[in-house]
Structure 1
Amino acid sequence: MKRLADIRNWSALLVGILFAVGLSISGMTQPKKIVDFLTFGAGWDPSLLFVMIGAVPVYMITFRLVRGRKTPVLDTQFYIPKRTEITKSLVVGSVIFGFGWGLGGYCPGPGLVSLGTGSVTAIVFVFSMMSGMLIYRMYERWSELRKKN
């Protein structure tokens, strides 16, 4: 069992490194590139569109192949969300994510990868993201306590 856990950990590390390299090569760790992509007009940079055009078919094919299996290669079950409804929390979270991405030029993955550069903007972004997550968790707990009383 320990050997399987070791293989899982090493494969997760390898996939994480591959993901980080892909984000770096594609320019997703450069806030200016992201903002230029999200800003339509004279300075619009469509290069990230080509990243998406390449990524979406790979994802679609891989997802179908993986879903055809009974279990994952390195685990006993898949961890795929079952919920499909659009909730108020989902919409509000998506809007906040979009504003943060457009204003800061980072989304969570590239922001974490950019920490490795020591960039002040990446540090501020990740600190702000973690603070937002903590505030939300505290709000949820407060809401649960309020419902009980």
Structure 2
Amino acid sequence: MADFPLPPVRMPAPDPLGSSILVAEDSLEQRDLYVALLTSAGYRVLVAGDGAEAVQVAQRERPGLILMDVTMPGTSGWNAVRVLKADSETRAIPIIIITGLSGSWDRDASLAAGCDEYLAKPVAPARLLEEVRKFLPR
């Protein structure tokens, strides 16, 4: 059997820093909808199922934008936002809160926690993409 050299394997280049979106959502159905919408729009998407996981993924991956639910098991979205905004390595990452909590108090609490934008569920796909593009143009 003859030895043939294998062609060089080309690995894809890593995404530029900050070109991905982290979706932190405990509802699998909602998370899948966001992932499908964002990937079809050309974004690289990371996922987290709760606030603590969102903090870990954000610190490790440094996404360009975070979409964060508020009501999740364990660490809430608001607490995760506070942690990320207190960390010098992640504080500049914009965070959009997307929540079923739609009262004015909830909006104020979200902004006080440090989020950059607040959207009440349900969010129309076009509206979500409009907000995403404000922070992470394509």
> Shorter-chain TM-score category?
under 0.3
Q: Looking at secondary structure, tell me which structure has more helix per residue.
A: 1
Greater relative CO, 1 or 2 (CA 8 Å, sep 6+): 1
Q: Looking at secondary structure, tell me which structure has more strand per residue.
A: 2
Higher Cα Rg: structure 1 or 2?
1
